[in-house]
Structure 1
Amino acid sequence: MLGGVRSVPVVFLATALVLIGCSAAGTGDLPGAQEQKSTATPDGGVAAPDGLPALRVQTVLDGLDHPWDVARAPDGTLLVDERGGRLTAVAPDGTARELDADLADLFAEGETGLMGLVLSPAFAEDRRFYTCQGVEEDGGAEIQVIAWTVDEDWTTATRVADPLLGGIPVNEATGRHGGCRVRFDPSGALLVGTGDNAVGSHPQDLGSLAGKVLRIDPATGGPAPGNPFADDADPDTRLLLSSGHRNVQGIAVRPGSGQVLTVEQGPDRDDEVNLSVPGGNYGWDPDGPGGDYDESVPMTDPAIPGAVPAVWSSGGPTIATSGADVVSGPRWGGYDGALLVGVLKDTGVLALRLDGTGRLLEQFRVPELEDTLGRVRSPVAGADGALYLTTDNGGGEDRLLRVTPEPSR
């Protein structure tokens, strides 16, 4: 357990530019597949293209256990959470402090616990942040979005909307498919990606908050203005942005475009990256005979009228995609504008290059991060131009990392 304050030295990792093979990832009949470019390696992987800058990887904080998400405050402080129930602030000088925060009601089982984390867009004024987490309540459990404030000295986090949104189902037996990423869209609405809890009826049930992307007002927890089902009689349906999801682990907004991309994990095949369409159904329907959870069906079932096809799919086998973000700016060179996706099973970071409409142009793996860090949960682009990563290996062996491009020579 990290307690009190400690100073963490920055450790530089090797940055050898060896192109390491990775599992093949295909798109089949998906939009943009005909435009996709990749360079196959002898073992069937996808190599990085020429012209990428070398990357420097630094350890910001170690000794973590299943860190899930990270956010960078305007003052340069990093706030990181751990699935088992801990919030830690890392000051710009490297000093780390565990926040005093009431997490006594946390439901942490399997994949569920303290998960998504995001700062208010007005954090410099309101000191507000949001978590998505499992909660034990009234003899049962559910997933909730909770709003907090943190003091200026980064010592205490206080719940101010408890919950902002409740009633998101959880798998109480196993914690499987708990979601739960939170991000702001360009309009200021709070997006919440949820999992289906391994219950086959949830993704296609517009009256359930599981297996969905929700779009809520961050002040009230109610439906955000402009939601596609705003006039529905069911108050839960009014919260929905999209349905037919299996386990939404990543949400990213493309700078300058307003496009929202979501990342979710498939069953035996077809992890997916999807372009968000208001009211879209993304085609996951595992509701088998007798209510069985049938994981043999396609991730995007073509039998569902209007099912939205994926921008990218892993094909088979899956690689367990997780969080994602877009890096941008001239210093990133060949990575500029790429969506970087954390990979848990086939360990590393996947880079996807998309055109302006969201069609896939190119995919490759980031060489310096391939099979060197173990499971990567969350890539997060900071306002300082760096990319922050959390690993998810467990056993107190996890790290918060800072990745920056080396200056060109």
Structure 2
Amino acid sequence: MRRALLPVVVLLLAACSAAPGPGASPPAPEGTTALAVEVVLGGLDHPWDVVRAPDGTLLVDERAGGFTAVLPDGTVREVAADLDDLNAFGETGLMGLALDPAFTSNARLYSCQGDRDGEIQVVAWTAAPDWSSLTRVADPLVGGLPLNTASGRHGGCRLEFAPDGALLVGTGDTAAGAVPQDPGSLGGKVLRVDPATGEVEVWTLGHRNVQGLAVRRGTGQVFSVEHGPDRDDEVNLLRAGGNYGWNPDGDGSYDESVPMTDPGIPGAIPAVWSSGAPTLATSGATFLDGAAWGDYHGVLVIGLLKARGVLALRLGDDGALRQQFAVPELDGTHGRIRSLRAGEDGAFYATTDDGDGDDELLRVTPRS
């Protein structure tokens, strides 16, 4: 059974970090703001995402099914929810979460999840005031996202709200060659969804497997994070109608030897950051804002699965890469990092993804 853990703050210096994973990033510049890492909750199994409600409650989901709330006083509560139709296998299951911008008044949130009908769906829920339960209110809000029914591979699925109130949905290509360049498919895309009606617009295409979406505050810029095949994980600055160049259609097969951004596609938009070889398995991402973050103010931080850590990217006003480095306190110290979410409490939250009931929800703050 899960239980709340006594807060344990681990202040780690780069010199004592465990050995970094493959494709390790450059170390943090000397004098970079030190961070504190606190274990908020343990005993989780493949937690996929976390959101922080205005009252301070943290809601985390697990890929195989289930929601858990950590209340502001530290109480841990299993959240009842109807997940009887959840299809969890391979890389697909209960995945991305997002809180409605009007959550304080409507108690509404969204999940992206595999369904037994053979598709991936976005479902809208309302939360009970005491976080004892979630109730479906749009079932689904969006259906018809493709699912690889044989393996669950490349199911996406990240949710984030755009500055104008549209719900963004990052999807995977389901390891099907024609999908990412097919404007009639919802796979391998970033979608804009009206959260009130479920109306869907294909915003960008040519993606492999979108694992992260991050909005840069005050700019309107939205960045996607996705996995490459054997090289070139990418961070992309999204533009309406943009094609990001993934085209693995090998005469009906799934040809992963092609480049992540195919220069043969007219107007294909290059990534603002690429891992090169080997891949790091980039995942969830968020921007850090506020003077308390010191050197991290304005930096995009990205969870790394294979490389088992967090990558920091400093980007120019135009989105171009200025600097990259590994966050030392999370470099090989807590395993695979799946999701990162900035809270309004001056912290960011991370979920680990190693399985076997050993995963954690972490709270990361600037060291005072």
TM bucket (normalised to shorter chain) is over 0.9
Paired residues of 1:111 and 1:178 also in contact (CA < 8 A): yes
In structure 1, the partner of 2:120 is 143
Paired residues of 2:44 and 2:358 also in contact (CA < 8 A): yes
Any residues of structure 2 matched to 1:150-165 within 5 Å, and which?
150-165=127-142
Report deviation, 1:47: 1.3
Equivalent position SS for 1:256: coil
In structure 2, the partner of 1:277 is 239
Match for residue 212 of structure 2 among 225, 250, 254: 250
Match for residue 125 of structure 1 among 100, 105, 109: 105
Change (3 A) 1:45 1:241: closer
Any residues of structure 2 matched to 1:89-100 within 5 Å, and which?
89-100=69-80
What's the % identity of the aligned pairs? 63
In structure 1, the partner of 2:44 is 64
User: Which protein is richer in strand relative to its size?
Assistant: 2
Report deviation, 1:18: 2.1
Report deviation, 1:94: 1.2
Any residues of structure 2 matched to 1:301-340 within 5 Å, and which?
301-340=262-301
In structure 2, the partner of 1:192 is 169
Deviations 1:193-226 (A, max 9, x none): 0000000000000000000000010011103xxx
Report deviation, 1:24: 8.4
Deviations 1:323-353 (A, max 9, x none): 0000111111111000000000011000000
Q: Hey, what's the Cα distance between the residues in 2 that align with 1:404 and 1:390?
A: 15
- The residue identity in structure 2 corresponding to 1:13 is V
In structure 2, the partner of 1:183 is 160
In structure 2, the partner of 1:260 is 222
Paired residues of 1:116 and 1:132 also in contact (CA < 8 A): yes
Tell me the matched-pair count. Answer: 367
Paired residues of 2:10 and 2:38 also in contact (CA < 8 A): yes
Q: Return structure 1 stretches of 4+ with deviation > 4 angstroms.
A: 19-25
Report deviation, 1:385: 1.1
Report deviation, 1:110: 0.6
Asked if 1:55 corresponds to 2:35, the answer is: yes
Q: Hey, what's the Cα distance between the residues in 1 that align with 2:338 and 2:124?
A: 22
Match for residue 18 of structure 1 among 12, 15, 18: 15
Q: Hey, what's the Cα distance between the residues in 2 that align with 1:121 and 1:112?
A: 26
Equivalent position SS for 1:10: coil
Paired residues of 2:21 and 2:306 also in contact (CA < 8 A): no
Deviations 1:262-281 (A, max 9, x none): 00000010000000010000
In structure 1, the partner of 2:6 is 9
Structure 1, 69-78 or 6-15: larger mean CA deviation: 6-15
Name the Cα RMSD after superposition. Answer: 1.4
Structure 1, 86-95 or 157-166: larger mean CA deviation: 86-95
Question: TM-score if structure 2 supplies the norm length?
Answer: 0.97
Any residues of structure 2 matched to 1:173-252 within 5 Å, and which?
173-223=150-200, 239-252=201-214
Report deviation, 1:16: 2.5
Equivalent position SS for 2:116: strand
Asked if 1:366 corresponds to 2:324, the answer is: no
In structure 1, the partner of 2:363 is 402
- The residue identity in structure 2 corresponding to 1:12 is V
Paired residues of 2:22 and 2:280 also in contact (CA < 8 A): no
Q: Hey, what's the Cα distance between the residues in 1 that align with 2:234 and 2:211?
A: 10
Equivalent position SS for 1:331: helix
Question: TM-score if structure 1 supplies the norm length?
Answer: 0.88
The gaps in structure 2 that reach 5 residues or longer are: none
Report deviation, 1:15: 1.7
Highest CA radius of gyration, 1 or 2? 1
The gaps in structure 1 that reach 5 residues or longer are: 26-43, 224-238
In structure 1, the partner of 2:353 is 392
Change (3 A) 1:266 1:310: same
Q: Hey, what's the Cα distance between the residues in 2 that align with 1:376 and 1:17?
A: 18
